[in-house]
């Protein structure tokens, strides 16, 4: 999961560096935060034995 998050962060940085449109950066930035939250959510819900 760490490798995926690092790749997303690097992609965000490259988008900003190459002056891609604001909506691209906002979309990928939000997607990174959602993925980060997802990993955290699966960690805190472990004791509940939820299956997705």
Partner 1 sequence: MKKAILSHGFASLLTSWAICAALIVALYHQLFNNDLPCALCWLQRFAMLAMLVAQTWILLKIGKRQTVSIQDVALGHGLTILAALVGMSMSLRQVLLHILPGDPGYGGEVMGLHFYTWGFVLFFCCMAGSALTVALSNWLDRTADAWHAAARWTMWLIAALILINWVLVFAMQGFQWELDGDPTHYRLFSFS
Tell the smallest beta-carbon distance from residue 4 to partner 1 (Å): 9
CA dist 33 and 19 (Å) reads 21
CA dist 49 and 45 (Å) reads 7
Tell the smallest beta-carbon distance from residue 16 to partner 1 (Å): 5
Give the interface size with partner 1 as a residue count (CB under 8 A).
26
Secondary structure percentages of the chain, helix, strand, coil, to 5: 80, 0, 20
* Residues in contact with partner 1 by the rule CB under 8 A: 1-3, 5-7, 9-10, 12-13, 16-17, 19, 22, 25-26, 29-30, 32-33, 36-37, 39-40, 43-44
């Amino acid at each position: 999961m760490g490798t995926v998050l690092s790749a997303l962060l690097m992609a965000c940085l490259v988008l900003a560096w190459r002056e891609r449109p604001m909506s691209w950066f906002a979309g990928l930035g939000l997607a990174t935060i959602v993925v980060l939250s997802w990993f955290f959510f699966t960690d805190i819900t472990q004791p509940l034995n939820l299956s997705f």
